[in-house]
Amino acid sequence: MNLEDALNSLQEKSWRSNKRMFAESEFDKFIAHLQASKDAIIEESLDDIASAEEMITESQEDFNFPAFKSWMHKCVKNNIKAESEDW
């Protein structure tokens, strides 16, 4: 039995008592993935905001700060969601 098999065997015996540790590990991996994708998420969100601003301006509505904040929240949230689906 090699070291990897021994560790797998040990984890197989103890996973029930270490569920939180495994959940934290998955969460940390997910956050690290999002952090590594931060620049791409931001750039995509800025592109989305530019498109939204153009669309709103064309319909002769004001693209003011409250509208910007609302759209930014939606865009960032949607881009994080899209990135998380790729994970």
Query: pLDDT for 53-67, tens place per residue?
Result: 999 999 999 999 999
Range of the domain at 51: 37-87
Q: Is 49 exposed, middle or buried (0-12, 13-18, 19+ CB in 10 A)?
A: middle
Same domain, yes or no: 26 and 6: yes
Same domain, yes or no: 3 and 31: yes
Same domain, yes or no: 31 and 61: no
Same domain, yes or no: 24 and 58: no
Same domain, yes or no: 27 and 44: no
Same domain, yes or no: 64 and 26: no
Question: Would the pLDDT of 10 be above 90?
Answer: no
How many domains does the structure of the chain reveal? 2
- Say which residues have a Cβ less than 8 Å from residue 78's Cβ, sequence separation at least 6: 48
Question: How confident is the prediction for the chain on average, in pLDDT?
Answer: 93
In 3D space, the residue among 80, 34, 76 whose CA is nearest the CA of residue 52 turns out to be 76
Question: Would the pLDDT of 68 be above 90?
Answer: yes
